[in-house]
Structure 1
Protein backbone atom coordinates (compact mmCIF):
# COMPACT_ATOMS: atom_id res chain seq x y z
CA UNK A 1 0.00 0.00 0.00
CA UNK A 2 1.43 3.33 -1.04
CA UNK A 3 1.16 6.45 1.02
CA UNK A 4 0.68 8.88 -1.86
CA UNK A 5 -1.65 11.88 -1.59
CA UNK A 6 -4.04 10.08 -3.95
CA UNK A 7 -4.16 7.08 -1.60
CA UNK A 8 -5.19 9.37 1.29
CA UNK A 9 -7.94 11.13 -0.64
CA UNK A 10 -11.37 9.85 0.39
CA UNK A 11 -13.36 7.96 -2.22
CA UNK A 12 -16.18 10.03 -3.78
CA UNK A 13 -18.80 7.48 -2.73
CA UNK A 14 -17.48 7.48 0.87
CA UNK A 15 -17.66 11.29 0.88
CA UNK A 16 -21.22 11.20 -0.44
CA UNK A 17 -22.40 8.57 2.06
CA UNK A 18 -20.71 10.41 4.92
CA UNK A 19 -22.29 13.68 3.86
CA UNK A 20 -25.72 12.06 3.78
CA UNK A 21 -25.15 10.63 7.28
CA UNK A 22 -24.20 14.10 8.52
CA UNK A 23 -27.14 15.76 6.78
CA UNK A 24 -29.70 13.33 8.20
CA UNK A 25 -28.18 13.47 11.68
CA UNK A 26 -28.39 17.26 11.63
CA UNK A 27 -31.96 17.14 10.29
CA UNK A 28 -32.84 15.19 13.42
CA UNK A 29 -30.88 17.64 15.61
CA UNK A 30 -28.82 14.69 16.79
CA UNK A 31 -25.28 15.17 18.04
CA UNK A 32 -22.37 13.07 16.87
CA UNK A 33 -22.07 11.83 20.44
CA UNK A 34 -25.69 10.65 20.49
CA UNK A 35 -25.32 8.81 17.18
CA UNK A 36 -22.05 7.29 18.34
CA UNK A 37 -23.62 6.06 21.59
CA UNK A 38 -26.52 4.50 19.70
CA UNK A 39 -24.07 2.69 17.42
CA UNK A 40 -21.56 1.68 20.10
CA UNK A 41 -18.86 3.90 18.59
CA UNK A 42 -16.82 6.92 19.60
CA UNK A 43 -17.89 10.30 18.28
CA UNK A 44 -14.49 10.47 16.56
CA UNK A 45 -15.46 7.42 14.49
CA UNK A 46 -18.71 9.12 13.49
CA UNK A 47 -16.67 12.18 12.49
CA UNK A 48 -14.45 10.00 10.29
CA UNK A 49 -17.51 8.41 8.66
CA UNK A 50 -19.05 11.81 7.98
CA UNK A 51 -15.82 13.18 6.46
CA UNK A 52 -15.40 10.07 4.33
CA UNK A 53 -12.06 9.37 5.98
CA UNK A 54 -13.28 5.91 7.05
CA UNK A 55 -15.57 3.69 5.04
CA UNK A 56 -18.82 2.52 6.59
CA UNK A 57 -19.31 -1.25 6.50
CA UNK A 58 -22.59 -2.63 5.21
CA UNK A 59 -23.69 -3.77 8.67
CA UNK A 60 -22.81 -0.42 10.24
CA UNK A 61 -24.61 1.44 7.45
CA UNK A 62 -27.68 -0.68 8.18
CA UNK A 63 -27.46 0.29 11.88
CA UNK A 64 -26.99 3.95 10.98
CA UNK A 65 -30.05 3.84 8.71
CA UNK A 66 -32.11 2.28 11.50
CA UNK A 67 -30.90 4.86 14.03
CA UNK A 68 -31.49 7.79 11.66
CA UNK A 69 -34.86 6.34 10.57
CA UNK A 70 -34.19 6.23 6.83
CA UNK A 71 -33.87 3.42 4.28
CA UNK A 72 -30.30 2.38 3.47
CA UNK A 73 -30.85 3.70 -0.07
CA UNK A 74 -31.08 7.23 1.39
CA UNK A 75 -27.30 7.31 1.72
CA UNK A 76 -26.86 6.64 -2.00
CA UNK A 77 -29.49 9.06 -3.31
CA UNK A 78 -27.92 11.45 -5.77
CA UNK A 79 -25.14 9.13 -6.92
CA UNK A 80 -24.91 7.98 -10.52
CA UNK A 81 -26.43 4.57 -11.23
CA UNK A 82 -23.48 2.14 -11.05
CA UNK A 83 -24.77 0.14 -14.04
CA UNK A 84 -25.70 2.92 -16.45
CA UNK A 85 -23.58 5.71 -14.88
CA UNK A 86 -26.55 8.02 -15.48
CA UNK A 87 -27.75 10.78 -13.22
CA UNK A 88 -31.27 12.09 -13.44
CA UNK A 89 -32.26 15.70 -12.87
CA UNK A 90 -33.49 14.84 -9.39
CA UNK A 91 -30.05 13.42 -8.59
CA UNK A 92 -28.38 16.65 -9.70
CA UNK A 93 -30.75 18.74 -7.60
CA UNK A 94 -30.22 16.38 -4.68
CA UNK A 95 -26.43 16.83 -4.95
CA UNK A 96 -26.81 20.61 -4.86
CA UNK A 97 -29.00 20.44 -1.76
CA UNK A 98 -26.65 17.94 -0.11
CA UNK A 99 -23.61 20.13 -0.77
CA UNK A 100 -25.45 23.13 0.66
CA UNK A 101 -26.68 21.33 3.77
CA UNK A 102 -23.24 19.87 4.41
CA UNK A 103 -21.71 23.31 4.91
CA UNK A 104 -21.62 24.50 8.51
CA UNK A 105 -23.91 27.43 7.67
CA UNK A 106 -26.14 25.66 5.18
CA UNK A 107 -28.28 23.74 7.64
CA UNK A 108 -28.82 26.82 9.81
CA UNK A 109 -29.65 28.98 6.79
CA UNK A 110 -32.08 26.35 5.48
CA UNK A 111 -33.74 26.26 8.88
CA UNK A 112 -34.00 30.05 9.25
CA UNK A 113 -34.91 31.05 5.68
CA UNK A 114 -38.54 29.85 5.76
CA UNK A 115 -39.03 31.79 9.00
CA UNK A 116 -38.67 35.03 7.01
CA UNK A 117 -42.35 35.71 6.61
CA UNK A 118 -42.31 38.21 3.77
CA UNK A 119 -41.58 36.99 0.26
CA UNK A 120 -40.04 40.30 -0.68
CA UNK A 121 -37.47 40.02 2.13
CA UNK A 122 -36.66 36.41 1.15
CA UNK A 123 -36.06 37.65 -2.42
CA UNK A 124 -33.73 40.38 -1.10
CA UNK A 125 -31.76 37.78 0.87
CA UNK A 126 -31.48 35.67 -2.28
CA UNK A 127 -30.36 38.70 -4.31
CA UNK A 128 -27.72 39.48 -1.66
CA UNK A 129 -26.38 35.91 -1.69
CA UNK A 130 -26.36 35.86 -5.50
CA UNK A 131 -24.41 39.15 -5.63
CA UNK A 132 -21.90 37.92 -3.07
CA UNK A 133 -21.41 34.65 -4.96
CA UNK A 134 -20.87 36.51 -8.24
CA UNK A 135 -18.39 38.83 -6.56
CA UNK A 136 -16.31 35.95 -5.23
CA UNK A 137 -16.51 33.93 -8.47
CA UNK A 138 -13.10 33.12 -10.03
CA UNK A 139 -14.52 34.11 -13.44
CA UNK A 140 -14.54 37.73 -12.32
CA UNK A 141 -10.78 37.69 -11.74
CA UNK A 142 -10.02 38.16 -15.46
Structure 2
Protein backbone atom coordinates (compact mmCIF):
# COMPACT_ATOMS: atom_id res chain seq x y z
CA UNK A 1 0.00 0.00 0.00
CA UNK A 2 1.58 3.33 -0.99
CA UNK A 3 2.13 5.94 1.66
CA UNK A 4 0.35 9.26 1.19
CA UNK A 5 1.65 12.16 3.28
CA UNK A 6 -1.65 13.97 2.72
CA UNK A 7 -3.35 11.40 4.93
CA UNK A 8 -1.25 12.44 7.92
CA UNK A 9 0.98 10.41 10.19
CA UNK A 10 0.58 6.66 10.33
CA UNK A 11 -1.33 5.62 13.49
CA UNK A 12 1.48 3.21 14.42
CA UNK A 13 4.04 6.02 14.30
CA UNK A 14 1.73 8.22 16.40
CA UNK A 15 1.31 5.42 18.97
CA UNK A 16 5.07 4.85 19.20
CA UNK A 17 5.62 8.59 19.59
CA UNK A 18 2.97 8.79 22.30
CA UNK A 19 4.66 6.01 24.26
CA UNK A 20 8.02 7.74 23.83
CA UNK A 21 6.59 10.99 25.19
CA UNK A 22 4.79 9.25 28.05
CA UNK A 23 7.94 7.42 29.13
CA UNK A 24 10.14 10.50 28.73
CA UNK A 25 7.76 12.64 30.79
CA UNK A 26 7.43 9.95 33.47
CA UNK A 27 11.23 9.98 33.82
CA UNK A 28 11.19 13.78 34.02
CA UNK A 29 13.61 14.33 31.16
CA UNK A 30 13.35 16.92 28.41
CA UNK A 31 13.36 16.36 24.68
CA UNK A 32 16.81 17.97 24.68
CA UNK A 33 18.21 15.46 27.15
CA UNK A 34 16.73 12.55 25.20
CA UNK A 35 18.11 13.96 21.95
CA UNK A 36 21.60 14.16 23.46
CA UNK A 37 21.36 10.58 24.70
CA UNK A 38 20.47 9.23 21.26
CA UNK A 39 22.45 11.65 19.09
CA UNK A 40 19.74 13.55 17.21
CA UNK A 41 18.33 17.08 17.47
CA UNK A 42 15.53 17.83 19.89
CA UNK A 43 13.45 18.81 16.85
CA UNK A 44 13.84 15.25 15.59
CA UNK A 45 12.59 13.94 18.95
CA UNK A 46 9.57 16.29 18.59
CA UNK A 47 8.85 14.82 15.17
CA UNK A 48 9.16 11.26 16.49
CA UNK A 49 6.81 12.03 19.38
CA UNK A 50 4.19 13.54 17.04
CA UNK A 51 4.50 10.61 14.66
CA UNK A 52 5.52 13.01 11.88
CA UNK A 53 8.75 11.05 11.29
CA UNK A 54 9.17 7.32 11.50
CA UNK A 55 11.67 5.92 13.95
CA UNK A 56 14.17 3.53 12.34
CA UNK A 57 14.86 0.21 13.99
CA UNK A 58 18.31 1.23 15.23
CA UNK A 59 16.97 4.53 16.57
CA UNK A 60 14.10 2.70 18.29
CA UNK A 61 16.65 0.52 20.09
CA UNK A 62 18.67 3.60 21.11
CA UNK A 63 15.57 5.44 22.34
CA UNK A 64 14.37 2.42 24.31
CA UNK A 65 17.78 2.18 26.01
CA UNK A 66 17.84 5.94 26.73
CA UNK A 67 14.36 5.70 28.25
CA UNK A 68 15.22 2.56 30.23
CA UNK A 69 12.47 0.54 28.60
CA UNK A 70 12.15 -2.04 25.84
CA UNK A 71 11.43 -1.75 22.15
CA UNK A 72 8.46 -4.04 22.76
CA UNK A 73 6.96 -1.54 25.19
CA UNK A 74 7.52 1.38 22.83
CA UNK A 75 5.78 -0.42 19.97
CA UNK A 76 2.91 -1.58 22.19
CA UNK A 77 3.73 -5.27 22.30
CA UNK A 78 4.53 -5.33 26.02
CA UNK A 79 2.70 -4.14 29.04
CA UNK A 80 -0.71 -5.45 28.03
CA UNK A 81 -2.27 -2.09 27.24
CA UNK A 82 -5.92 -2.46 26.41
CA UNK A 83 -7.58 -0.63 23.52
CA UNK A 84 -8.82 1.94 26.05
CA UNK A 85 -5.30 2.42 27.40
CA UNK A 86 -3.96 2.77 23.85
CA UNK A 87 -6.58 5.47 23.27
CA UNK A 88 -5.43 7.28 26.41
CA UNK A 89 -1.79 7.06 25.33
CA UNK A 90 -2.81 8.50 21.96
CA UNK A 91 -4.64 11.37 23.66
CA UNK A 92 -1.58 12.07 25.79
CA UNK A 93 0.43 12.47 22.59
CA UNK A 94 -1.50 15.64 21.77
CA UNK A 95 0.64 18.69 22.45
CA UNK A 96 -0.21 20.12 25.85
CA UNK A 97 -2.18 17.09 27.07
CA UNK A 98 0.36 15.99 29.66
CA UNK A 99 0.84 19.59 30.84
CA UNK A 100 -2.93 19.97 31.19
CA UNK A 101 -3.20 16.70 33.11
CA UNK A 102 -0.39 17.73 35.48
CA UNK A 103 -2.06 21.11 36.09
CA UNK A 104 -5.43 19.39 36.60
CA UNK A 105 -3.93 17.00 39.15
CA UNK A 106 -2.44 19.96 41.05
CA UNK A 107 -5.85 21.62 41.57
CA UNK A 108 -6.60 20.97 45.24
CA UNK A 109 -10.40 21.42 45.21
CA UNK A 110 -12.53 18.67 43.70
CA UNK A 111 -15.22 21.20 42.80
CA UNK A 112 -12.69 23.24 40.80
CA UNK A 113 -11.54 20.10 38.96
CA UNK A 114 -15.17 19.25 38.18
CA UNK A 115 -15.76 22.78 36.87
CA UNK A 116 -12.73 22.46 34.60
CA UNK A 117 -14.00 19.13 33.23
CA UNK A 118 -17.40 20.71 32.52
CA UNK A 119 -15.72 23.64 30.75
CA UNK A 120 -13.58 21.32 28.61
CA UNK A 121 -16.59 19.20 27.68
CA UNK A 122 -18.54 22.31 26.68
CA UNK A 123 -15.64 23.54 24.55
CA UNK A 124 -15.30 20.12 22.87
CA UNK A 125 -19.00 20.07 21.92
CA UNK A 126 -18.75 23.34 20.01
With the shorter chain as reference, the TM-score category is 0.7 to 0.9
Matches within 5 A, 1:73-92: 73-77=72-76, 91-92=82-83
Pick the structure with greater CA Rg: 1
Post-superposition offset of 1:7:
4.8
1:108 to 99, 110, 119: 99
Do the aligned partners of 2:50 and 2:93 also contact (CA within 8 Å) in 1? no
Please list every run of 5 or more consecutive structure 1 residues that lacks an aligned counterpart in the other structure. 80-87, 137-142
User: Partner residue of 1:82?
Assistant: none
Structure 1 outlier segments of 4+, above 6 Å? none
Distance in 2 of aligned mates of 1:105 and 1:128: 17
2:88 to 88, 93, 97: 97
Q: TM-score, structure 2 length as denominator?
A: 0.76
Between the aligned partners of 2:100 and 2:5, the Cα distance in structure 1 is 35
Q: 1:67 to 1:130 in 2, by over 3 A?
A: same
1:124 aligned partner: 115
> Over the residues paired in the alignment, what is the CA RMSD in angstroms?
2.6
CA distance in 1, matches of 2:109, 2:5: 50
Query: Who is 1:15 aligned against?
Result: 14
